[in-house]
Amino acid sequence: MPARPGLNATVELDVTDADTALAMRTGVVPVIATPRIVALFEEAAVLAVHEHLDEGCSTVGVSVQMEHVAPVAVGGHVTTEALLDKVEGRRLSFRVSARDDRGLVAAGRVVRVVVDVEAFLDKTRS
């Protein structure tokens, strides 16, 4: 069954010291780092469609747009969601959001493209 709009997945995270801007060297504050949220968005997008792709296929990220609007400290719990809202050939567009117990933490869009894994990897070989 091919990927179709409406597919979704969630990923949850209990924020640790390793997830912070301080640890990732993207800031000096001990709150969840923006790149960590991006990784959660990508993980949720992959999970949303993985079982619906042809054998030997996967997706690769090509674009992320997001706004990180609230901090989450170490010990906080974040739930991210990716919802596939548009399919244009091999191009898959997701709406993504992250929330904690106080509300919205980040939101945006992720675009991934379906690839044949072996053909894609051939591009990396000399």
Q: What DSSP character marks residue 54?
A: P
Please count the other Cβ atoms lying within 10 Å of the Cβ belonging to residue 70: 14
Q: Which two tokens stand for residue 12?
A: 């949850």
- For residue 42, indicate whether it is catalytic: yes
Selecting among 10, 20, 26, 42, the annotated active-site residue is: 42
- For residue 68, indicate whether it is catalytic: yes
Sheet containing 77-88: which strands, arranged edge to edge? Answer: 8-14, 77-88, 91-100, 103-116, 57-68
Cα gap 95→40, rounded to integer Å: 13
Cα gap 55→125, rounded to integer Å: 22
Cα gap 73→31, rounded to integer Å: 4
- For residue 80, indicate whether it is catalytic: no
Selecting among 10, 34, 50, 52, the annotated active-site residue is: 34
Selecting among 16, 50, 55, 68, the annotated active-site residue is: 68
Residues labelled catalytic: 34, 42, 68
